[in-house]
Amino acid sequence: MSAQIPNSDLPRILIIGAGFGGLKLARKLSNKAFQIVLIDRNNYHQFQPLFYQVATAGLAPSAISFPIRKLFHKAKNVHFRVAEALKVDTKAKTLSTDIGDIRYDKLVIATGADTNYYGNEEIKQHSFPMKSTSESLQLRNRILECMELALTEKIEADRSAFMNVAIVGAGPTGVELAGAISEMRTYILPKDYPELDFSEMNIYLLEAGDRILGTMSESASKASHSFLKKMGVQIITNARVTGYKGTSIEMSDLESINTKTLIWSAGVAGNVVAGFDPENILRSRMRIDSHCQVIDQADIYAIGDIAAIEGADHPHGHPQVAQVAMQQADLLAKNFIMTSQGKRAKKFTYQDLGSMATIGRSKAVADLPFLKFSGFFAWIFWLFVHLMNILGVKNKLFIFIEWLWYYLSFDQSLRLVIKQKKSQPED
C-alpha cells in the first residue's frame, strides 16, 4: 500500500496532526518552497474549546468542524491524507501509516493529546470522555437517553441515578460542562420532560485538588465557584475517584455517588508516536529544545500538547493549550523559511495571552496579562475570542445565530439522540 504522494524536488515536510498547531504550520508554509504533507485521522479540523456545547445540544457538530481540504484549495504545495501514524523510522526517515510509508525530509509531530485515565481501566470503560466531536455526540446521546429512561423508571433511587450527572476534573472543560448542564436542567429539560421532577437531578463537579480552575488565578477560581454554587452545582474538592462500574462513583474518604453518567475530564496524555527512545518522553510528552526540535533527533520536531520544553518556570513543559501550539507553529514556520535561506533559527518564547472559562449565561472568568475580571463583560469577551478563532465565515455566522437565539429564547434546537443503525443478523 502506498500513500501516493507526488514526487517533488522541494524538501518534504511531513506534519502529523491537523489540530491547532499542525494546521497553522501547514497554512503558514502553503505556497512556500517546500512540499507539505499533512496527515490526520479525520478529514476535518475540530474546534476543541466548544466540544462541551456540542455535548449539551448547544451547537451542531458541523458548526465546530471545518473540512481540511477546503483550506488548501489554493495551496499547490500541500497534500493531505487521512491516515493513522503508526511508527517513525528515524534512520530511514519514513513514517509508517495505515495507508503506507511516507518519506520525509523534516517531520513535525503535532498529534495533540487524548484523555488520561491514569491507568484505571474500569473508569475508562464506563465513563464518557470529551476529546473529539464523536465523543461529544456520544455524551449528548447519553444525557438525553438517561432522561428517557428516567421517565419509565419506577424506583426513585434508580430514577435519580439516571438523572444525576457527575463530572470529574474541574479545569476549564469540567467547569464549562457543569455550567452548561446546569442551564439545561433549569431552562431546557423541564420543558422536554415535564413528568420528571428536576429537583431530583444533581450535578456533581469533583476535583482532586483543593480548588476548581486550579491553573487559573485565585480570583477566577473563587468567582467560578460562586457562579456554579448559585446555579445549583455540587462542588466537591479533594475528591479522588478510585472506581466506577457504571452506577456508583467510589472516592477515597468520601461517600459514593449514584449516577449513570460519569464525564471524565481529569487530565490528558500526549498521543506519542512509536519509534522513539523512552528517554525522549517526559510524562507522555516528547522532550524538545528551544527550537522545537526533538532532543537528539535531527530533522524531527514536535509542537503543541505532545511537546515539552523543560525550563525553570515550566519543569514539565508549557501549558497544554491552543495558544502554545499556535505560537510554536508560527515560530517553526519562520525557522524553516529562515534556515532554508541560510539564516539562523530563532528560539521559542511563549507569550501568555491569558486564559478564560465560561460558566453559563452572562457568566465567565478571564485572566489576562494586564487584567483579571469576571461576569458579563468576561462572558462577552469569551464569546468574541472564540467566535473569531472559528474557521470559516459560514461557521462563525451559524454559531453567532445559535448563541443569539439561545440568549433570547432560552432554547436549544439540537436535542437529538443519534444512534448508529444496528446491522441485520446474517441468515
Q: What is the pLDDT of residues 186-198, one digit of tens each?
A: 999 999 999 999 9
Same domain, 275 and 307: yes
Sign of the C-alpha dihedral, residues 174, 176, 182, 188?
A: negative
Same domain, 205 and 335: no
The residue from 217, 233, 266 where one domain ends is: 266
Task: Evaluate whether residue 47 is within a structural domain.
Answer: yes
Task: Evaluate whether residue 415 is within a structural domain.
Answer: no
DSSP assignment, residue 290?
Answer: T
Same domain, 157 and 254: yes
CA–CA separation, 11 and 170 (whole Å): 44
Q: Domain containing 235: what range?
A: 121-266
Count the Cβ atoms, other than its own, within 10 Å of residue 8. 12
Same domain, 231 and 274: no
CA–CA separation, 106 and 353 (whole Å): 30
DSSP assignment, residue 31?
Answer: T
Same domain, 125 and 228: yes
Predicted local confidence at residue 427, as pLDDT: 45
Q: Please tell me whether the overall predicted TM-score, pTM, comes out greater than 0.85 for this model.
A: yes
The residue from 217, 234, 266 where one domain ends is: 266
Task: Evaluate whether residue 330 is within a structural domain.
Answer: yes
Predicted local confidence at residue 410, as pLDDT: 83
Same domain, 125 and 239: yes
Same domain, 93 and 173: no
CATH value at residue 111: 3.50.50.60
Same domain, 222 and 288: no
Predicted local confidence at residue 315, as pLDDT: 82
Predicted local confidence at residue 34, as pLDDT: 97
Same domain, 62 and 168: no
State how far the alpha carbon of 243 is from the alpha carbons of 117, 125, 254, 262, 427, in Å.
Answer: 11, 11, 12, 11, 41
Predicted local confidence at residue 420, as pLDDT: 67
Predicted local confidence at residue 2, as pLDDT: 65
Task: Evaluate whether residue 179 is within a structural domain.
Answer: yes
Which residues of the chain are modeled with pLDDT < 50? 425, 427
Task: Evaluate whether residue 379 is within a structural domain.
Answer: no
Number of domains the chain is built from: 2
CATH value at residue 226: 3.50.50.100
pLDDT per residue over 22-74, tens digit each? 999 999 999 999 999 999 999 999 999 999 999 999 999 999 999 999 999 99
